[in-house]
Structure 1
């Protein structure tokens, strides 16, 4: 399981705006618990933003993992990895995620975390391109309202749905629900 950017800085509403999926944090916690209880590998990814105004900058309080994630780190019986990155894909972080997964014999991953349409999606797409079988836990992700070119605006559910359709329809990942993954892990 790859837990992407579940950091305190995403709680800064004034910076990010309105989010969707208020149940995502509970689903992320449940997935981590299920993976740890069954000895499966868990990768915790932290975004170390290089933008001067970002709440996710290294050394800032917002860079820390959310409390429920931090208290779960190191609690499983399976292998665990911390990846730090400054771009969208966890595969461009340190240490090398693909190398670690390959060394562990992992060919199937679950992606959960923040933001649905940014780092979680980019990580899932790249994993698919690298030949991993990817399960994208849509209800264990969330994102924010977004403004695009020409002033086009989407509420947070719009980019989340687009991610689900693109990943699933494009063959990058199978988009699933948390309950399905927990049942399969049992």
Structure 2
């Protein structure tokens, strides 16, 4: 059975309106937002800390370019006034931000990471969290990715990219545990 620390933090990564842009292509795991919302409700009901990570792009034309709608949080997953918001400019939410310090000052050692993109910001942040000594948990049903072309031009289905990214994380960086098991542990 999965156990959660009483102060385990839910880290919601890049759940912004820009992720809904058709320009990003076909994605997997269409129920991810629903499961993220269920975890968010459980975290709030148990008074555990929630961190909302927002990507602020430095690249004009990005779905996360400042000042446009894509940069805003999706309404159903928007932070409450007392929840921490961490902005970042690169995929890793620990790189050049105060996230590690914010967690350590509060004695938080267990992190449940959800959001997007599985093989980009979620994986980068989970890898750093694991390397920094945090107990990182990634529910596979709370993240998604898009079809992706490799360097030879072959397009890999989002389901395969997602599965490989989670397998990479499970090797050394994080535990991969379904959201339903985490909800039972709250």
Give the TM bin, normalised by the shorter chain: over 0.9
CA deviation string 1:110-154 (max 9, x = no partner): 000011111011110000000000100110001100011111221
* CA-based RMSD: 1.1
How far, CA to CA, are the matches of 1:81 and 1:93 in structure 2? 17
> What residue in structure 2 maps to residue 179 of structure 1?
180
How far, CA to CA, are the matches of 2:65 and 2:181 in structure 1? 34
| Residue 7 of structure 1, aligned match among 10, 13, 16 | 16
Q: CA deviation at 1:92?
A: 2.0
Does the alignment pair 1:30 with 2:3?
no
- Unmatched tracts of structure 2, length 5 or more: 1-9
| Residue 92 of structure 2, aligned match among 89, 92, 103 | 89
How far, CA to CA, are the matches of 2:83 and 2:76 in structure 1? 16
Does the alignment pair 1:66 with 2:77?
no
> What residue in structure 2 maps to residue 46 of structure 1?
54
- Unmatched tracts of structure 1, length 5 or more: none
User: Contact 1:137/1:176 (CA < 8 Å) preserved in 2?
Assistant: yes
Count of aligned positions: 177
The answer to which of 108-117 and 85-94 deviates more is 85-94
Q: TM-score, normalised by structure 1?
A: 0.92
- Pair 1:34–1:93, CA change in 2 (3 A): farther
Q: CA deviation at 1:184?
A: 0.8
CA deviation string 1:82-113 (max 9, x = no partner): 0000101111254x010010001000100000
CA deviation string 1:27-69 (max 9, x = no partner): 0111111111101010000000111111111111100001101
Q: TM-score, normalised by structure 2?
A: 0.92
How far, CA to CA, are the matches of 2:177 and 2:156 in structure 1? 23
Q: CA deviation at 1:80?
A: 2.5
How far, CA to CA, are the matches of 2:147 and 2:68 in structure 1? 24
How far, CA to CA, are the matches of 1:145 and 1:66 in structure 2? 22
- Runs (4+) of structure 1 exceeding 2 A deviation are none
